[in-house]
Structure 1
Amino acid sequence: MPGWPHDASGLGGLRGAGAGFHAPLLQAAGLTITAIATNSGERVAQASADVPEARIVPDLDALLDHAATDGLDLVVLASPSGVHVEQARQVVEAGVACVVDKPLACDAVSALELVDFAAAEGVPLTVFQNRRYDPQFRTLQEVLRSGTLGELRQTELRWERWRPVPKDRWREQVPPEAGGGLLLDLHTHLIDQLVLLHGPVETVYAELAAWTTAAEDDTFLALRHTGGHRSQVRASTVSGAPGPRVRVQGSLGAYILGSAQGEQTAFPDADGPLGQLGWVVRGPEREPVAAVESDPADFYRAVAAALVSQDPMAGMPVDPSDAVHVLAVIDAARASDRGRRVVDVITPGEAPD
C-alpha cells in the first residue's frame, strides 16, 4: 500500500479534547492543522486563536469537502463519544486516515464493525489512547520489566476525584449508550493500560453507581487476566479522599504512586522526590523510583511515521482491535453489575478458546 503524505491534517468536532489535547500534540509532532470543524462561537474563537492558519468549517461534512478539494491526509475526531462510529465511517468512506478519540465506540460490537469496515476499505484507523504515553505509565512498565517486585501478585489502578457537583458537559448528562459515564471515559485508559501490562482480560466483576450524573460516576472492577494475574481498577468523581493512583504487589515488595497529572490524592508522600515517580516499598523500607521520560506527542509522531510507511494500517501506534477488547471488558462490567456476578469477557471477532 502506498504511503500517505503527512503534511496536512484536520480536527473534527473540536471541543475540550480537541482544544486541550489534540491540537498542541499535532503541532508538537510537526503536523500541520489545515482545517478545524466546530460550530460553537466560543470554540470557533478559541480555535482561530490557537491555530490561526487553519480554516474553520461548521461540521464534518464541510471538513471532508475540504479534504476532497484541497487534500487532507488525516482527520482527528474529538467529538462526543456517541457519534464516533458514525463520524469515523464518514471519514473512512472519504478515504482519509482517521484518529478517533477514545472510546472508539460505545460497545464492542459497534467497534468491531467499524474496525472491519476500515480494514475492508484499506483506510488506516487508530484510537487516541494517549495515556500509554504518560510518564507515570512508562515508569510503571519499567518497574515491572525490571523484576524489582519479584513475582507479580496484584495490580491496582485508580483515577479518583472529588467533584460533588458534576461538570456541565455532555459526558455527565447523557446515558451510557450515548457515551456518558466513567466506563467509557477513564476506564478506557485504565483497562487499556492493564491489558498492556498483563494481557487480555478473561473475567470481570463490577460494582457501578451513578450518584450525581446520568451514567456511572463511581466504579470498581476486579479483573482476571488470561495469564492468571489479578487487577483491580477504580474510578470515581465522588471520592472525598482519592486513593493512590498505582499500587502493585509482588513477592519482593510493592510499588506505589500517589498522584499523577498534577491531581492531588490523600497520599502525597507516595509521589516521591523531584525526578522520581513513586516508591518501591518493603515494609518500613522504601526506595524512590526514577521517572521514565515520555512525550505525549510521540503518539502523533508514530501516526505520521505510519502514514509514510509501506503499511500505514499496520504501523498505527494503537491497533484498533485493542479498543474492541477494552470495550468488551466494559460490556462485561455492565453485565456483571446488573447480574451481581462474575462475567466472562467475550471479545467479538475472536474465536472462543
Structure 2
Amino acid sequence: MTGTEASARTIRTAVVGFGLSGSVFHAPLIAADPRYTLSMIATSNAGREAAAAAQYQDVKTVPDGQAVLEHANDVDLVVLGTPPATHYPLAKAALEAGLDVVVDKPFAVTSGQGQELVTLARQLGRVLTVFQNRRWDGDFLTLRKLLAADALGKVTRFESRFERWSPAIAKAWKARATAADGGGTLFDLGSHLIDQALQLFGPAAVVHAELKVRRSDERADDDVFLVLRHESGVISHLTMNMLCAQQAPRFRVLGSVGGFTKNGVDPQEPYIAAGGSPLDAEYGQEAPEWAGLLGRDGHLDALPTERGAYPEFYRLLADKILDGGTASDLPLPVDPTDAVESLKIIEQARELAASVR
C-alpha cells in the first residue's frame, strides 16, 4: 500500500458491547481519530442502543457480536468490550472471518485460550492486540519517565494499588460471574496492575497470594493482594480491593537513591464519562494538587503528572494496520503475548492462594 493509499483509507470499526468499556473508552477514542470510521456498535441493551444511536447518529447498531460477523465485509476491525468469558469465542470467530481484533482486558479467562488466539492470528496474518489502556495513565507515564532517568537508583520495591469503595456490584454479569467466567477483581483490576508491573520490571513469579471475598454477592474475589518477585530483583506488592473505604497511595516505589509516592487515579475515564472528548485541550491533564512526591536527599519535591494518553493506543494501532498489518515492522500498541504472561500470573496466584487455605 502506498502512502497516499494508506492516508486515504479509514479503518472501518465495529465496537461490540456498549457498557463502560465501549461507551467510555473505545467508541470515543475511535471517533476522535480520523483514521478510523466508527461503523457499527453492537449491544443487546435497549437503553444502550438508544444512547449509541443518539451519540453516533451515522453508526449502524446491531444486537450482538454474531450480527457484526454477519456484516464482516463492511468492517475491518472488531473491538470486543464484552464480558471476559465471551472474549475467546468472539475473537476466534472474528479472526476466522478475516478481521483484525482488539480485545479488552482480561484477554481471555485462561492463558491457554490467549495463546491459542495469538497463534491463530499469526497463522491467519491478522492484527490482534489487547486494550491495556493503563499503560497510558498519566501517573504510569510519569513513573516510566522517572525510571528511564534512573531518578530512583536501583528499585527494590514497587507498590501498586487499585482500591475502590463499591459495596454493591453494579453490573449484573459481574454479580453472576465466577472466576471461571473471568469474574472478580483479580481478572478486572489485577489485569492492569500485573501488566504494569511486568512492563516496568520484567518477568516475575508469584510468591504470595491472598484472594478473599468480602461482599455478600461476590462469586469470585474482591480483595486481593499479590507479591511478585521479578527476575530483575524487584519485589512488587499489588493490591486490588473493591471494599476499601480509605485508599492508600496509588504508587509507592522505593529505590537505592530515592522514592516516589503518588495518590489519586488517572482522570481520563471520569472525564470522558462526564461528557468530555479526547480532543479537548484539557483531556488527560491532572490537577496540580495531585502531583506525586519525589523523595531524594532528605527532602520531598512535587512532581507534576505527565498528561494521560489513551488515544495513543489507537494511534499506534492505526499505524500498524495502515502500514500493512502483520507485514509491517511497526509495533503493536500491546503485544498480545504480554497479556498471556499476565494470565499466567493470575493462574499462579489462584493456585498458590488455593494451596494455603
Equivalent-residue separation in structure 1 for 2:346 and 2:131 (angstroms): 17
Q: Does 1:298 align with 2:312?
A: yes
**Pairwise CA distance, 1:239:** 1.3
Residues 157-216 of structure 1: CA deviation (Å, up to 9, x unaligned): 000012223324312331011111011111101110111100011333100101111110
Q: How does 1:157-168 map to 2 (within 5 A)?
A: 157-168=160-171
Task: State the AA in 1 paired with 2:324.
Answer: Q
Residues 219-275 of structure 1: CA deviation (Å, up to 9, x unaligned): 000000122211110000111211110000111121000111359xxxxxxxx9718
Tell me if the contact between 1:172 and 1:215 (Cα under 8 Å) persists in the aligned partners: no
Q: Does 1:281 align with 2:295?
A: yes
Q: Does 1:203 align with 2:219?
A: no
1:217 to 1:203, Cα distance in 2 relative to 1, 3 A: closer
Tell me if the contact between 1:254 and 1:280 (Cα under 8 Å) persists in the aligned partners: yes
Q: Does 1:316 align with 2:342?
A: no
Where 2:11 maps in the other structure, the secondary structure is coil
Q: How many percent identity over aligned positions?
A: 37
Q: What is the number of residues matched between the two proteins?
A: 332
Residues 25-84 of structure 1: CA deviation (Å, up to 9, x unaligned): 11122221111111211111011012111001112222122222xx21111011111110
Task: Say which of 19, 24, 31 aligns to 1:15.
Answer: 19
Q: How does 1:1-353 map to 2 (within 5 A)?
A: 5-30=9-34, 31-68=36-73, 71-212=74-215, 213-262=218-267, 274=288, 277-282=291-296, 285-312=299-326, 315-340=331-356
Equivalent-residue separation in structure 1 for 2:155 and 2:297 (angstroms): 17
Task: State the AA in 2 paired with 1:178.
Answer: D
Task: Compute the RMSD of aligned alpha carbons.
Answer: 2.3
Equivalent-residue separation in structure 2 for 1:173 and 1:282 (angstroms): 48
Equivalent-residue separation in structure 1 for 2:145 and 2:184 (angstroms): 31
Task: State the AA in 2 paired with 1:20.
Answer: V
Task: State the AA in 2 paired with 1:19.
Answer: S
What TM-score, normalized to structure 1? 0.89
Tell me if the contact between 2:104 and 2:131 (Cα under 8 Å) persists in the aligned partners: yes
Runs of at least 5 residues in structure 2 that lack an aligned partner in the other structure: 270-285
Task: State the AA in 1 paired with 2:95.
Answer: V
1:101 to 1:168, Cα distance in 2 relative to 1, 3 A: closer
Equivalent-residue separation in structure 2 for 1:165 and 1:78 (angstroms): 22
Equivalent-residue separation in structure 1 for 2:16 and 2:78 (angstroms): 7
Task: State the AA in 1 paired with 2:238.
Answer: V
Where 2:160 maps in the other structure, the secondary structure is strand
What TM-score, normalized to structure 2? 0.88
Tell me if the contact between 2:206 and 2:349 (Cα under 8 Å) persists in the aligned partners: no
Equivalent-residue separation in structure 2 for 1:258 and 1:324 (angstroms): 29
Equivalent-residue separation in structure 2 for 1:136 and 1:63 (angstroms): 36
Task: State the AA in 2 paired with 1:21.
Answer: F
**Pairwise CA distance, 1:310:** 3.4
Equivalent-residue separation in structure 2 for 1:204 and 1:331 (angstroms): 13
Task: State the AA in 2 paired with 1:29.
Answer: D
Residues 299-320 of structure 1: CA deviation (Å, up to 9, x unaligned): 1111111101134376321110
Tell me if the contact between 1:134 and 1:296 (Cα under 8 Å) persists in the aligned partners: yes
Runs of at least 5 residues in structure 1 that lack an aligned partner in the other structure: 264-271, 342-353
Tell me if the contact between 1:276 and 1:288 (Cα under 8 Å) persists in the aligned partners: no
Equivalent-residue separation in structure 1 for 2:10 and 2:174 (angstroms): 32
Where 1:185 maps in the other structure, the secondary structure is helix
Equivalent-residue separation in structure 2 for 1:168 and 1:320 (angstroms): 27
Task: State the AA in 2 paired with 1:252.
Answer: V
Task: State the AA in 1 paired with 2:219.
Answer: A
